[in-house]
């Protein structure tokens, strides 16, 4: 009898596990907003309420991080610079590294604290150092929003603390674009891929708030956020086999939900898409006659690094070349001289513009006179 009961229990366990795993894998994860974007092309693959104005919590720091990276790369500030903590920075609540007024710390260590541990005091202090004051840095954040062409973001602070603000918001799409801009700065990977680190000679431990860093293949960052107003948020970036994606999840009900949905989104991208480089046949680009110009012909130029995102089962890329037979001077640098249409699976997937790389003046009497003198 005992043997029979043991067999029944063993079989119950055996069949129970696949069912529970399947149920978990296919559970409906409720979030306020989400998006999956290809980092290489900016193409949106999946989205859910991606333009809705929401509190992004500490994912706000994406814009802070971008501005700090730009200040470092431009030489405005250096990683070795020592910065003294201000009362404004020290007074920030939430996640922090417990800076004391007057305490000096390098830009490198402060930035490490921001990216890895989401430290509000360190973020505020770096913002002050870059812009001169906390409020001036927030102005820089909103100005950068405009230069990126984003329409659904406005910041009131650099940290994302949202208990005392009324007009601080962003959306999944805007945050994905900001992340795309951040990943152009290779320096970020020195910090965003670190799981554990420390400050003050090992006295202050830094734990990455993104638990996928050491659990998801190819994870490269980037920023978590949590408040009672915003819920659980995450902007994640990952790269495999020379293709990169960014996902943004806002307003998840639990921390696990934001990580589970992030895995699901990124898995979908890697499983279904590939990145192809557009390969133009340079021998097919012919010179174009210039009528009435100081130069008799011009060869069109084009971007040689364009890439396209394609479904993995798509057909081979084909090209259709269209040129102007003749153009009339004057011609300005950047003027259109034709185009190359790119197709895959009988669908146009991209267009490469052919342009002039120089200014060409019209023939004038003075030009003709000079030519005559030179030929004498």
Structure tokens at 287: 């010179």
Whether 61 sits among the annotated catalytic residues: the reply is yes
Cα 105 from Cα 121, distance rounded (Å): 12
- Catalytic: which of 118, 170, 192, 244? 118
231 prior amide bond cis, ω within 30: no
- Catalytic: which of 61, 112, 180, 223? 61
Residues 6+ apart with CB under 8 A from 54: 32, 33, 169, 170, 171, 172, 230, 250, 251
Cα 254 from Cα 227, distance rounded (Å): 11
- Catalytic: which of 58, 170, 247, 350? 58
Residue given tokens 């984003």 in the structure block: 150
* 31 closest CA partner among 235, 180, 191, 183: 235
Residue by residue, DSSP assigns 185-226 as: SGGGHHHHT-SEEEEGGGTEEEE-S-TTTTTSTTEEEEEEEE
Residues 6+ apart with CB under 8 A from 28: none
Whether 118 sits among the annotated catalytic residues: the reply is yes
**Angle at which helices 120-131 and 134-147 cross, to 10°:** 80
Cα 237 from Cα 62, distance rounded (Å): 12
What's CA 137's distance to the chain center, in Å?
A: 21
Using a 10 angstrom Cβ sphere, with 0-12 exposed, 13-18 middle and 19 or more buried, the burial of residue 152 is middle
Residues 6+ apart with CB under 8 A from 330: 293, 359, 360, 361, 362
Q: Judge contact between 187 and 73, C-beta under 8 A.
A: yes
* 360 closest CA partner among 299, 308, 311, 295: 295
- Residues serving a catalytic function are 58, 61, 118
């Amino acid at each position: 009898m005992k043997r029979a009961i043991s067999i029944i229990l063993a079989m119950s366990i055996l069949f129970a596990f696949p069912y529970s795993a399947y149920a978990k894998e296919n559970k409906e994860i409720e979030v306020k907003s989400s998006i999956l974007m290809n980092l290489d092309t900016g193409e949106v693959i999946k989205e859910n309420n991606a333009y809705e104005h929401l509190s992004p919590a500490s994912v706000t720091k994406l814009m802070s991080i971008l501005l700090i990276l730009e200040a470092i790369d431009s030489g405005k500030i250096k990683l070795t610079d020592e910065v003294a903590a201000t009362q404004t920075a020290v007074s920030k609540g939430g996640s922090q590294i417990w800076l004391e007024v007057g305490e000096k710390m390098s830009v490198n260590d402060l930035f490490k604290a921001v990216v890895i541990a989401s430290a509000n005091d360190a973020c505020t202090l770096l913002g002050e150092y870059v812009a001169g004051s906390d409020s001036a840095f927030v102005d820089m954040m909103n100005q950068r929003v405009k230069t990126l062409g984003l329409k659904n973001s406005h910041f009131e602070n650099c940290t994302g603390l949202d208990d005392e603000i009324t007009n601080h918001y962003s959306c999944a799409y805007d945050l994905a674009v900001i992340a795309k801009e951040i990943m152009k700065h290779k320096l970020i990977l020195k910090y965003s891929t670190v799981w554990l680190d420390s400050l003050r000679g090992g006295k202050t431990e830094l734990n990455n708030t993104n638990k996928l860093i050491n659990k998801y293949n190819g994870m490269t960052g980037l920023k978590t956020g949590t408040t009672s107003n915003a819920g659980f948020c995450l902007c994640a970036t990952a790269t495999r086999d020379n293709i990169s994606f960014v996902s943004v999840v806002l307003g998840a009900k639990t921390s696990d939900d934001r990580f589970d949905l992030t895995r699901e989104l990124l898995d979908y991208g890697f499983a279904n898409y590939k990145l192809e480089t557009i390969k133009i046949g340079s021998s097919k680009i012919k010179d174009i006659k210039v009528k009435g110009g100081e130069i008799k012909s011009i060869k069109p130029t084009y971007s040689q690094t364009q890439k396209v995102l394609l479904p993995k089962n798509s057909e081979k890329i084909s090209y259709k070349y269209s040129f102007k037979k003749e153009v009339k001077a004057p011609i300005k640098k950047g003027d259109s001289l034709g185009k190359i249409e790119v197709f895959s699976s009988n669908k146009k997937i991209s267009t490469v513009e052919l342009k002039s790389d120089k200014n060409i003046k019209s023939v004038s009497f003075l030009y003709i006179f000079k030519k005559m003198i030179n030929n004498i």
